[in-house]
Structure 1
Amino acid sequence: MKKKELILCLLLVLSLHISAQTLTYPMPHGRQASPLYKVTLIDNGLPRNSPVYTDEARWKTNRCRTTSWSNFATAHPLKIRVTTLAQKIDTCHILPRRHRIKCRVVNDSVAEFTLPGPGHYSVEFEQGITITHPLLLFVDSHPLHEPSPSSPNLITFEAGIHHIGDNFRLQSNQTIFLKPGAYLKGQFTAENAENITITGQGILSGEDYPARSHNHMISMKNCNNILIEGITIINAPRYCVSLNGTNQICRNLKMMGWWFSTDGIGIGSNGLIEDCFFKVNDDAIKLYRSNTIARRCVIWQMENGAPFQIGWNMPGYNSNFHVHDIDIIRVEHPWDNPNEAVFDAIHGSEGTMTQYLYENIRIDNCEHRLFHLMTRPNRFGKWDPAKGEVSNLIFRNIECYTQPRLRNIIMGHDTLHLVKNIQLENIKVNGKVWTSPEDANLITNLQTTQGIRVKKSPPEE
């Protein structure tokens, strides 16, 4: 073989190898492609379309009118071309901003950029706090992890639409696999079970159920050793994932819900939430049960709820929470409600919620409030007149790129229901680092609130 032919052959092999490291997922027959966006992956110079879904707003207060998304997998940085089908492009930017992705506007309907690899991204052709038609890109790691076909108690859903109903009951030692292109209408439930896995790249939709009705999308009561990973959950009437028990993992879930009370994840003790995306209209991450870790997530907080909810009235003693390396790309709160802050607690029971560490968190497009930490009676709780507290919280290396307009509130209800030992360290808001309680713009009560410290630490060497 001549040298020139050998080089061409090697280039062809290399091209095929690189292309094999990127995978698109089919759209099932019966779902219509987005009327708003077309997404093309440019892999080693070869274009490949990735199907785009679009859902429309379901509630009158939703600030977004649609959400579009496309999901694919790659093992390397990837050039993306987005074509808008219903609007002209005047501006283009991509969040989270820490990736520093530059978007090139090719013409009034085409933009191009390179994603650094797996992750969750929001491509936006509008400016301001309210974005009405976002395009979300969910990039999985390649190669995909799939359960062995010989796994015992394996149920596989192939590409296509499946109606599973609102009470698809799971048993111990069972694995559910949603292949790329699988689209399930329904909800999974389990009770008093263990060793359950739900995995894959398919979609679980609650579109057939009205708000606050039926089950949570995935509901497991008193279940241990649970793994839920990879899937996309949309149109939840209530929680996307509600778990109690112990030793549970939620990994790389993509969750989108329009209704009030569409919480993200509530997890049991010894729980891990990692690499997930939330665009939900109630609390994104519930930090209720001991030994919870949440890390490397991306959150778009809609008009209701909080990205991090510390306590709606939990009983007992709950401790040891670690939340870190989180990107909150939007906070759309419009009202001065007690459940609307980035870091929130409305604790109205006898329980003790203690030992929280939040660090390395970046917050974009928040013009409402950062902190609302209180003990107080409320209609959802069983108030104990003698006990109940929130204590020992550290917030470290938190940056908010905008200036919230409402004052922060850290305050106990009375001397028997304290909020105490709160450290605000290296909190940077709109370019300024807090060095005093005055910088924090706090509302508090020194009789019911003890040990608030605001400090700036030297940078690590």
Structure 2
Amino acid sequence: MIQQLAVRLAMCASLALCGHASAATTVNNSQLHTWWHDTHELNNSAPVADNAVRRSTVYDVRVATDAAQGAQYDSYAYMSIPRGGRNKWGYSDNDGAEFADSANLTMSWSSFVYGTDVWVHITLKDGSSISSANDVKIRPSALNFQKVMVDSHTIKVKVPYSSKGYRFSVEFDNQLYTAYNDMSGASGALNSAGTGNAVHTEPRNAMLVFAEPRPAGDEATRLVPTSASGSIHYPAQGMVNNLDTITQEIVYFGPGTYYMPWNYHAKLPASVKWVYLAPGAYVKGALQFMSETQGVFKVTGYGVLSGEKYVYEPDTDNYYEHRAQSNCHASCVKMLRFTSTNSQQYLDLQGVTISEPPYHSFVVYGNEETFQMRVENYKQVGSWYWQTDGLELYTNGSMKNTFFHSNDDVLKIYHNNLDIDNTVIWKNENGPVIQWGWTPRNMDGVHVKDTYVIHNKMYWKDEKTNTCVVNASTHWDPNGQPDANKWVRNIYLENITVEGMTNCALRLYALQNTEKVHIKNLLVDGWNDVGVSSQQSRFTKMAAGLAIGNETTSSAGLKLENYRVGGQYVTKAGGNWQGSALGRLNFDGALWDNWNAWVGSGAP
């Protein structure tokens, strides 16, 4: 740590790298709101100062409305780097960030609020260049945004206004690299040197744009606190280590930079029902709501909550140092933590960007059936470590218009009556995209629509049971047993697009009775080069006594409607579904009548 600090101080000797650079021009009106952090560091290799915000060393961003294209405004380009620029701090075990660190991966992003069509200008400042607009791709590709080359270092992208906003990746061809599996040992290991078999191609230096709508009218009342919303505590910029004893109902982080010590996270008193992170707020820390009886919680605003100061798996039972026990699920810091009782509770989670979670980003303890969530325009970036899951939605929960960079299970659909729509996902190595396994469950009525997997590095050469695009994993406990008294039914997953190469489509290990699982319009661009044996999809039941819906006679089994690989439809009748064929479906032969793959009417 001392050596890294010396490096950072040396870098900060130049005002071009740290502190107050030339003033930026921002705007805040009904049509466009951008922001800036004067105290920043252009630093891609070490921790930044507590009162500074890391600024992208690769990209600059400016935004103009379509109606006034000559008036361009700065939009801060944040940057995340693996482990926040630290070496492993007090541990030597693998933490999931090894490949990202060795390959010098970074993730930049810029957020702004808008109310009209805009042009987003992204400028390369690392010395690389482009020769045409075709040298730049926008993902999800389905957006098909207009692109114009401004000069050899700048592209501008037209972003039409949408009340849903847009979350997308801007990818310069000169930033692309390919991850390979070196095929060593049981699973292989990732490398970027070209050793072994290709896994996936993605930008080495990611650039994300989050164009978000401005809440207005009743939505503004619901999402932006005022004095009419309750008593408000306004933390001062700088160190924040005193939120455990406040008496107000609302914590309002205004624009600016705040940091909690590495050995502290906020245990918000029972009075606190709402935390607001204003656009331009950058808070280094984590939030735990101590109330178990609050009726309505809120975490809203377009600010950033960053876990960059925490070590991987920061264990409160070990003074916030890396865990000293085999499992710290109960004691490790979560970016957002709640506790629920038998009384019905609600959470509005809107707008915020979670950056560099050191462990799970979000957890609810207690009665999961009485904690209903409404999630909107949430983002998660810089998830380099293992166990940086996406969100688990609880009974009757909804989520829409989100982005996840995740290194574990992303969409955890473990409960009843869930509605998830319009999710963009950048997937790291660990876990699947959609997960409902790990233990026998009762689930009924889950709808997941419009999921865009723009990148993934799922690379294993052996057949893991907790990977693929869609997964119901085997039991987490080696001694755990299936349960014939439980049912998973009425699961509808539609419009899943997987761009680039991936490892496998689905592995479903039924730990309970299962019926009526419908996967419609799953599109996989293509399989990676690791090998057919690692790409097999599975469908099996984990005990003979479990009931699986019959698809042949009752239309109650597993439905794969309009499943495509590389643009070709995979059908049961067409004979291209087998484990070594295009579809890679190596299902249990005993379940022949429990599934079907076909092209439905109105197929894309």
TM-score range for the pair, normalised by the shorter chain length: 0.7 to 0.9
Indicate whether 1:458 and 2:584 are aligned.
no
User: Contact (CA 8 Å) 2:35, 2:74: kept in 1 or not?
Assistant: no
- Cα distance between partner residues in 1 of 2:437 and 2:105: 30
User: Which range moves more in the overlay, 431-440 or 288-297?
Assistant: 431-440
- Residue 350 of structure 2 corresponds to 229
User: Which range moves more in the overlay, 118-127 or 54-63?
Assistant: 54-63
For residues 416-440 of structure 1, give each alpha carbon's deviation from its aligned partner in whole angstroms, at most 9, with x where no partner exists.
Answer: 3465510000112211112226333
Indicate whether 1:408 and 2:542 are aligned.
no
- Cα distance between partner residues in 1 of 2:593 and 2:286: 44
Indicate whether 1:429 and 2:429 are aligned.
no
Structure 2 counterpart of 1:22, from 26, 32, 36: 32
- Residue 318 of structure 1 corresponds to 443
User: Contact (CA 8 Å) 2:250, 2:274: kept in 1 or not?
Assistant: yes
Indicate whether 1:200 and 2:301 are aligned.
yes
Letter in 2 for 1:442: L
- Cα distance between partner residues in 1 of 2:524 and 2:421: 18
User: Which range moves more in the overlay, 235-244 or 294-303?
Assistant: 235-244
For residues 243-296 of structure 1, give each alpha carbon's deviation from its aligned partner in whole angstroms, at most 9, with x where no partner exists.
Answer: 333321121111021100000101211111111110011111101011111111
Residue 216 (structure 1) shift: 1.6
5 Å matches for 1:336-375? 336=462, 337-348=464-475, 349-350=482-483, 351-375=486-510
Structure 2 counterpart of 1:249, from 374, 377, 396: 374
User: Which range moves more in the overlay, 91-100 or 409-418?
Assistant: 409-418
**Distance 1:86-1:460 versus aligned 2 partners, 3 A rule:** closer
Residue 446 (structure 1) shift: 2.6
- Residue 457 of structure 2 corresponds to 332
- Residue 265 of structure 2 corresponds to 166
Residue 450 (structure 1) shift: 5.0
**Distance 1:98-1:18 versus aligned 2 partners, 3 A rule:** farther
For residues 57-107 of structure 1, give each alpha carbon's deviation from its aligned partner in whole angstroms, at most 9, with x where no partner exists.
Answer: 231123670000000011122112111111413421111111112433343
Indicate whether 1:215 and 2:333 are aligned.
yes
Structure 1 counterpart of 2:286, from 182, 187, 190: 187
Structure 2 counterpart of 1:76, from 109, 116, 123: 116
**Distance 1:363-1:419 versus aligned 2 partners, 3 A rule:** farther
What secondary structure, in the 3-state scheme, does the structure 2 residue paired with 1:402 have? strand
What secondary structure, in the 3-state scheme, does the structure 1 residue paired with 2:500 have? coil
User: Which range moves more in the overlay, 210-219 or 273-282?
Assistant: 210-219
Letter in 1 for 2:211: V
User: Contact (CA 8 Å) 1:418, 1:449: kept in 2 or not?
Assistant: no
**Distance 1:454-1:77 versus aligned 2 partners, 3 A rule:** same
- Residue 64 of structure 2 corresponds to 42
Structure 2 counterpart of 1:60, from 98, 108, 118: 98
TM-score w.r.t. length of structure 2: 0.67
What secondary structure, in the 3-state scheme, does the structure 2 residue paired with 1:258 have? coil
User: Contact (CA 8 Å) 1:73, 1:143: kept in 2 or not?
Assistant: no
Letter in 2 for 1:415: A
What secondary structure, in the 3-state scheme, does the structure 1 residue paired with 2:203 have? coil
Structure 1 counterpart of 2:55, from 11, 33, 44: 33
What secondary structure, in the 3-state scheme, does the structure 2 residue paired with 1:357 have? strand
Letter in 2 for 1:235: E
User: Which range moves more in the overlay, 118-127 or 251-260?
Assistant: 118-127
What secondary structure, in the 3-state scheme, does the structure 1 residue paired with 2:595 have? strand
User: Contact (CA 8 Å) 2:525, 2:567: kept in 1 or not?
Assistant: yes
User: Contact (CA 8 Å) 1:206, 1:236: kept in 2 or not?
Assistant: yes
Structure 2 counterpart of 1:107, from 151, 157, 166: 151
- Residue 6 of structure 1 corresponds to none
For residues 319-352 of structure 1, give each alpha carbon's deviation from its aligned partner in whole angstroms, at most 9, with x where no partner exists.
Answer: 1111002222112211142222010111424343
- Residue 588 of structure 2 corresponds to 445
**Distance 1:116-1:419 versus aligned 2 partners, 3 A rule:** farther
What secondary structure, in the 3-state scheme, does the structure 2 residue paired with 1:150 have? helix
Letter in 2 for 1:141: P
Unaligned 5+ residue runs, structure 1?
1-16, 377-387
- Cα distance between partner residues in 2 of 1:27 and 1:104: 28
User: Contact (CA 8 Å) 1:75, 1:143: kept in 2 or not?
Assistant: no
**Distance 1:237-1:389 versus aligned 2 partners, 3 A rule:** farther
- Cα distance between partner residues in 2 of 1:173 and 1:35: 38
- Residue 263 of structure 1 corresponds to 389
User: Contact (CA 8 Å) 1:28, 1:159: kept in 2 or not?
Assistant: no
Structure 2 counterpart of 1:157, from 253, 262, 276: 253
- Residue 12 of structure 1 corresponds to none
Indicate whether 1:279 and 2:405 are aligned.
yes
- Residue 96 of structure 1 corresponds to 140
- Cα distance between partner residues in 2 of 1:20 and 1:54: 27
Letter in 2 for 1:207: E
User: What percentage of aligned pairs have identical amino acids?
Assistant: 22
Structure 2 counterpart of 1:119, from 163, 166, 169: 166
Residue 168 (structure 1) shift: 2.5
User: Which range moves more in the overlay, 169-178 or 282-291?
Assistant: 169-178
User: Which range moves more in the overlay, 180-189 or 277-286?
Assistant: 180-189
Residue 115 (structure 1) shift: 1.5
Structure ranking higher in strand proportion: 1
Indicate whether 1:51 and 2:194 are aligned.
no
Structure ranking higher in helix proportion: 2
- Cα distance between partner residues in 2 of 1:80 and 1:26: 16
- Cα distance between partner residues in 2 of 1:139 and 1:107: 23
Residue 220 (structure 1) shift: 1.4
Residue 143 (structure 1) shift: 4.8
User: Which range moves more in the overlay, 234-243 or 337-346?
Assistant: 234-243
Letter in 2 for 1:150: A
**Distance 1:314-1:413 versus aligned 2 partners, 3 A rule:** closer
**Distance 1:304-1:87 versus aligned 2 partners, 3 A rule:** farther
- Residue 178 of structure 1 corresponds to 277
- Cα distance between partner residues in 2 of 1:69 and 1:120: 10
- Cα distance between partner residues in 2 of 1:149 and 1:99: 40
User: Contact (CA 8 Å) 1:180, 1:201: kept in 2 or not?
Assistant: yes
What secondary structure, in the 3-state scheme, does the structure 1 residue paired with 2:308 have? coil
Residue 131 (structure 1) shift: 2.1
Indicate whether 1:147 and 2:225 are aligned.
yes
**Distance 1:18-1:250 versus aligned 2 partners, 3 A rule:** closer
User: Which range moves more in the overlay, 240-249 or 46-55?
Assistant: 240-249
**Distance 1:169-1:391 versus aligned 2 partners, 3 A rule:** farther
Letter in 2 for 1:82: I
Letter in 2 for 1:192: E
Residue 18 (structure 1) shift: 11
User: Contact (CA 8 Å) 2:494, 2:519: kept in 1 or not?
Assistant: yes
User: Contact (CA 8 Å) 1:233, 1:254: kept in 2 or not?
Assistant: yes
